Amino acid sequence: MNKSLIKMYYRMGIYSNAELDTFVKAGYITEAEAKELKDKV
């Protein structure tokens, strides 16, 4: 999974906070990246 796609889709509303947590658990993004995304939106 591409980090930039995850970020773009999250900002578009395609992915939810719960899905970000799943990506963190899967190792696709870091906790810091997920927190940064949640704080920006």
Q: What is the pLDDT of residues 1-41, one digit of tens each?
A: 799 999 999 999 999 999 999 999 999 999 999 999 999 86
Domain boundaries, the chain: 3-40
Task: Estimate to the nearest angstrom the gap between the alpha carbon of 26 and the chain centroid.
Answer: 11
pLDDT at 28: 96
pLDDT at 41: 66
Report the alpha-carbon distance of residue 25 to residue 27 in Å, rounded.
Answer: 5
pLDDT at 5: 95
Cβ atoms of residues 34 and 20 within 8 Å: yes
Range 7-33 burial, b when 16+ CB lie within 10 A, else e: beebeeeebeeeebeebbeeebbeeeb
pLDDT at 36: 94
